[in-house]
A and B are shown apart, each in its own frame.
Chain A
Amino acid sequence: MERKQRTILLVDDDLMNLKILTSVLGTKYNLLVAQGGKKALEMIEVAKLPDLILLDIMMPDLDGYSVCTLLKSEEATKDIPVIFISAMGQDVDEEVGLSLGAVDFIKKPFSLSIVLARVENQLKLANSLKELKELYSKSTIMNRLIKYKNHQIEMILNHSGEGYLMIDPDLVIQSEHSKECYKIFGYEISGKNVLAVFSDFTGFNRIVDEEVFKELFCLSNQELKQKSDVYLELLPDELKKNGEIYHVRYSVIMTEHIGKRLLIVLKNITEKRQLQHRLDVERQKLRMIVNIVSNVENYQALLNNARAFFGKTIFEGIKKGTYKDLLDIYIKTHTYKGVFGQLNIQEVYEVLGKLESLLSLYQDDFSEADSKKLINDVQTLDILNCLEEMNKKVEEFVGFETFSDNCYNSHIIVNRTNLERIKNHIKENPFIHGKDIILSQIEKINFKSLCAVLRKFCLYSKKISSDLGKEKVITEITGEDIFLNPVHYSHLMDSLVHVFRNIVDHGIEQPSERYQKGKNIAGRIHCDVKFEDDVVQLTISDDGKGIDLDDLKSRIKTFRGLTDDEIDELSDEKVMEVLFEERFTSIKDENSFSGGGMGLSALKRALEEIGGTIYIKSEKDKGTKFFIRFKVKGDEYNR
């Protein structure tokens, strides 16, 4: 039954022949019978294609050779095996027939059993051929698929920016590795030993790491599953070469087909590290600047004293050549080191550390000869230069004009403990008259200068204005200074920062906007201090965009849920007052500098604590003025 699935086409003009062949082949195969060449071609066109054709040569309408030639020229029929069956028994005929593409040639008269056998053979052959072809085309597709997948994987690996490589138990690098490897190693690594390839990397220990690799590959599959990561932890996770830093990951691969492999992935993290380093340096610098800015008076005095000491005094001291003088220098150096350290001025701190260890080399047998050498050694440290370099950095950062102010030179630094000691002396000395007055005067040394506080915030404004991409603001302080007792007024003085933040953040426009309005591209902040009849009047004004009253009103409307009429009834002052309310924010997008509406309310509260007031006057595009007023008690201030 199964065989009957195959179909044979019999072509002959002789009915007798057809009958004989039909009787034999009919039991085994499906048969199509055509009496003549033309008929055969017609049949092939309409019926199912036969698996084999038995073709007579001499036929009146169309001879067998022509039929065969036609069939072989058609794509659909060219693979159907053709067996000629003919009375033309010459070798030449057979040769012609085979040359036309026939697979066999049977001479008449034929033995039926031979026909059967040859047909069966050819069918088998044809079937094998077909299977082979199918197999071939399947494998071609598979190959193409594999190639495509490989290409895709390769693309991912090559574009990951990481160096992927794989080693076998002989520690040989496999041919599959990502492009990045070439960048990392500088040459083709496949086929090379992993130890040789990594030998010039810092962090790689050829002897120990080889042992780890080998141990790892010696483990059984079970052990690998359980413990491979413990072993992998022994391998270096960071390697360096030619100034580049690589983070290294490992992974054990176990597959049936290729066995054990170790995947090594290298990622260049140099940039990340450098960035981290730069960030650290910047952070350290910022810390230094903040410390200096918030202690600007002390800094200027410190710098001048240090210049004098390390430029002159120290050498005079060493020249004297006594251990006592040396000790004195050592103590002073130590103090300076501490102060610079507190201000986070790293470079100076370090150089003074060096000086300190240099000085500590000498004992009480310090001699004149030593002093000459020491002077030389101290000179090579070039502390003055270090101070100037550092100061240059600070000035560049904060703005040069900051330190050109001569007023700092009139200040002295008073040690708080010394002051306490003097106070105690006075208290305990029975011979001093008018102690209360003297003590209150001493107390006033502690008072903080309002102008100094304003100056500090002016510097701060310069810094944040440039941080916000605006031109560094120009600041000015006029009027008279007043010294206030920090116990009572420090809260207020600290809260003033919010005014400056608001000005720089919301008041001062971006340079382009200012340019279009015809203003100087740098914004201006003016502080004025007036003092009359125990009342301090502080005015802080800017030349920014002012407060948009209409916009503010509409915001109040939503904030408070008011009607249009209610809003219209509000006076401008009332509208401005809302700026001091907690949680009201006048800006659209909050940022790290101000917003959230807490700042100005904090200032208002600080003022209320001491019975002061604040109000705002603003004109669109002209600027905003903050008027701050508070009364000072007689013993809480000093002029």
Chain B
Amino acid sequence: MSTIAKILIVDDNYLMRRTIERIVHEMGHDVVGELDNGKHLPFKFRELVPDLITLDIVMADKTGLEALRELKDQYPFAKVIMVTSIGQKRKVLEALKYGADHFIVKPINEEKLKGVINRVLGPKKAVIPNKVQNDSQEFTEE
């Protein structure tokens, strides 16, 4: 069953990376890598071939928008969810123009992020919540 997706988290905030990782794990997906900046995003993409990237829109050294642009220039099919703060609508709009697939506003609402991830991954990789629970139960029982 190929319902487990490989996810790359790009965020300069450690706590945010942990939060997203926890949610992604709860959904039964794998975090295959994380970056605290957008510098080598295309390179990492080539290396890990993730099914989905969560990309912080504002980071210290390089903005998420630049990284997104570079990535989409080389890999237009890459699926990207932008992570943004309140009041960054304009940046989100720009990201959508560059080809970002969706966005999520911080502070992250767990259910919302799960919905967005499922939506972007599409029906093939979307995880039915119950299924995840059952699987994890089986796992803990063993």
Q: Is A205 an interface residue (CB 8 A)?
A: yes
A234 touches B89 (CB 8 A): yes
Contact of A212 among B93, B102, B103 (CB under 8 A): B93
Residues of B within 8 A of A231 (CB): 93, 96
B93 touches A230 (CB 8 A): no
Q: Which of B31-73 contact A (CB under 8 A)?
A: none
A230 touches B90 (CB 8 A): no
Q: For the complex, what is the distance from the CA of A416 to the CA of B94, rounded to whole Å?
A: 62
Q: Is A582 an interface residue (CB 8 A)?
A: no
Which residue of chain A lies nearest to B105 when distances are taken between CB atoms in the complex? A233
Q: For the complex, what is the distance from the CA of A402 to the CA of B139, rounded to whole Å?
A: 58
Which residue of chain A lies nearest to B116 when distances are taken between CB atoms in the complex? A230
Q: For the complex, what is the distance from the CA of A227 to the CA of B103, rounded to whole Å?
A: 11
Q: Is B101 an interface residue (CB 8 A)?
A: yes
Query: Interface size for chain B: under 10, 10 to 19, 20 to 34, or 35 or more residues?
Result: under 10
Q: For the complex, what is the distance from the CA of A231 to the CA of B89, rounded to whole Å?
A: 10
Contact of A208 among B93, B101, B102 (CB under 8 A): B93
Q: Is B10 an interface residue (CB 8 A)?
A: no
B96 touches A215 (CB 8 A): yes
Residues of B within 8 A of A227 (CB): 96, 101
A215 touches B92 (CB 8 A): no
Q: Is A577 an interface residue (CB 8 A)?
A: no
Interface string of B91-108 (1 = CB under 8 A from A): 011001100011100000
Q: For the complex, what is the distance from the CA of A234 to the CA of B86, rounded to whole Å?
A: 11
Q: Which of A193-230 contact B (CB under 8 A)?
A: 205, 208, 211-212, 215, 227, 230
Q: Which of A389-405 contact B (CB under 8 A)?
A: none
Among A205, A212, A231, A233, residue most surrounded by chain B Cβ atoms (within 10 Å):
A233
B89 touches A205 (CB 8 A): yes
Residues of B within 8 A of A234 (CB): 89, 92-93
Query: Interface size for chain A: under 10, 10 to 19, 20 to 34, or 35 or more residues?
Result: 10 to 19
Which residue of chain B lies nearest to A226 when distances are taken between CB atoms in the complex? B101
Q: For the complex, what is the distance from the CA of A215 to the CA of B90, rounded to whole Å?
A: 11
Q: For the complex, what is the distance from the CA of A215 to the CA of B92, rounded to whole Å?
A: 12
A215 touches B97 (CB 8 A): yes
Residues of A within 8 A of B103 (CB): 230, 233
Q: Shortest distance in angstroms between B105's beta carbon and chain A's nearest beta carbon?
A: 9
B97 touches A208 (CB 8 A): no
Q: For the complex, what is the distance from the CA of A610 to the CA of B50, rounded to whole Å?
A: 68
Residues of B within 8 A of A233 (CB): 103
B102 touches A230 (CB 8 A): yes
Determine the main DSSP class of A at the interface with B. helix
Q: Shortest distance in angstroms between A228's beta carbon and chain B's nearest beta carbon?
A: 11
Q: For the complex, what is the distance from the CA of A220 to the CA of B103, rounded to whole Å?
A: 20
Which residue of chain A lies nearest to B99 when distances are taken between CB atoms in the complex? A227
A208 touches B90 (CB 8 A): yes
Among B89, B97, B101, B103, residue most surrounded by chain A Cβ atoms (within 10 Å):
B89
B89 touches A212 (CB 8 A): yes
Residues of A within 8 A of B96 (CB): 215, 227, 230-231
Q: For the complex, what is the distance from the CA of A215 to the CA of B102, rounded to whole Å?
A: 15
Q: For the complex, what is the distance from the CA of A227 to the CA of B97, rounded to whole Å?
A: 11
Q: For the complex, what is the distance from the CA of A438 to the CA of B96, rounded to whole Å?
A: 78
Q: Shortest distance in angstroms between A239's beta carbon and chain B's nearest beta carbon?
A: 15
Q: For the complex, what is the distance from the CA of A231 to the CA of B102, rounded to whole Å?
A: 9
Residues of A within 8 A of B89 (CB): 205, 208, 212, 234
Residues of A within 8 A of B92 (CB): 234
Q: Which of A224-250 contact B (CB under 8 A)?
A: 227, 230-231, 233-234
Q: For the complex, what is the distance from the CA of A205 to the CA of B90, rounded to whole Å?
A: 11
Q: Shortest distance in angstroms between B141's beta carbon and chain A's nearest beta carbon?
A: 35
Q: For the complex, what is the distance from the CA of A115 to the CA of B133, rounded to whole Å?
A: 93
B102 touches A211 (CB 8 A): no
Residues of A within 8 A of B97 (CB): 215
Given the contacts A227-B96, A231-B96, A211 and B90 also touching, CB distance less than 8 Å: yes
Q: For the complex, what is the distance from the CA of A378 to the CA of B101, rounded to whole Å?
A: 56
Among B90, B97, B101, residue most surrounded by chain A Cβ atoms (within 10 Å):
B90
Q: For the complex, what is the distance from the CA of A230 to the CA of B103, rounded to whole Å?
A: 8
Which residue of chain B lies nearest to A235 when distances are taken between CB atoms in the complex? B89
Q: For the complex, what is the distance from the CA of A160 to the CA of B44, rounded to whole Å?
A: 53
Residues of A within 8 A of B102 (CB): 230
Residues of B within 8 A of A208 (CB): 89-90, 93
Q: Shortest distance in angstroms between B108's beta carbon and chain A's nearest beta carbon?
A: 15
Q: Shortest distance in angstroms between B51's beta carbon and chain A's nearest beta carbon?
A: 17
Q: For the complex, what is the distance from the CA of A234 to the CA of B91, rounded to whole Å?
A: 11
Among B93, B97, B103, residue most surrounded by chain A Cβ atoms (within 10 Å):
B93
Residues of B within 8 A of A230 (CB): 96, 101-103
Q: Which of A446-488 contact B (CB under 8 A)?
A: none
Residues of B within 8 A of A215 (CB): 93, 96-97
Residues of A within 8 A of B93 (CB): 208, 211-212, 215, 231, 234
Residues of B within 8 A of A212 (CB): 89, 93
Q: For the complex, what is the distance from the CA of A227 to the CA of B89, rounded to whole Å?
A: 16
Which residue of chain B lies nearest to A212 when distances are taken between CB atoms in the complex? B93
Which residue of chain B lies nearest to A234 when distances are taken between CB atoms in the complex? B89
Query: 10 nearest interchain CB pairs?
Result: A208-B89, A234-B89, A230-B102, A208-B90, A211-B93, A215-B93, A234-B92, A212-B93, A234-B93, A230-B96
CB within 8 Å of A: which residues of B?
A: 89-90, 92-93, 96-97, 101-103
23 pairs across A/B with beta carbons < 8 Å?
A: A205-B89, A208-B89, A208-B90, A208-B93, A211-B90, A211-B93, A212-B89, A212-B93, A215-B93, A215-B96, A215-B97, A227-B96, A227-B101, A230-B96, A230-B101, A230-B102, A230-B103, A231-B93, A231-B96, A233-B103, A234-B89, A234-B92, A234-B93
Query: Besides the contacts A208-B90, A211-B93, A230-B103, what 18 more A-B pairs have beta carbons closer than 8 Å?
Result: A205-B89, A208-B89, A208-B93, A211-B90, A212-B89, A215-B93, A215-B96, A215-B97, A227-B96, A227-B101, A230-B96, A230-B101, A231-B93, A231-B96, A233-B103, A234-B89, A234-B92, A234-B93
